[in-house]
Amino acid sequence: MSQHIDSESQTQSIRWTKNVLFGLGSIFVTIGIIRQWPILGKTYMEFIEGKGYLSLMLGLIMIVLGFSVPLLVGDEKDP
């Protein structure tokens, strides 16, 4: 019975962590795009040196980490 509760709390914490990473990542991506605007008229170096590049990349990394939370936590389902 305690293993069932631990499994539920682990699932809940994984879901909570995913939501936090997706939420913060999307906020950072939005801020990065706003600060980089207009994106289309820039060269590659202008894009990298722009004000919003760091927040844009940080947001994308957080979103990717949000997808990989079950792998990082070690949530392995027994067959």
Residue 76 belongs to some domain of the structure: no
Tokens 């999307």: give the residue: 26
Q: Is 74 left (phi over 0), alpha (psi -120 to 50) or beta?
A: left
Residue 75 belongs to some domain of the structure: no
The count of structural domains within the chain is: 1
pLDDT tens digit string along 63-75?
A: 999 999 888 887 6
**In this structure, which amino acid lies at residue 71?**
L
Residue 11 belongs to some domain of the structure: yes
pLDDT tens digit string along 17-76?
A: 999 999 999 999 999 999 888 888 888 898 888 888 999 999 999 999 999 988 888 766
Residue 10 belongs to some domain of the structure: yes
Residue 77 belongs to some domain of the structure: no
Q: Provide the domain limits for residue 50.
A: 2-70
Q: Rounded to whole angstroms, how far apart are CA atoms 42 and 78?
A: 50
- pTM equals 0.77
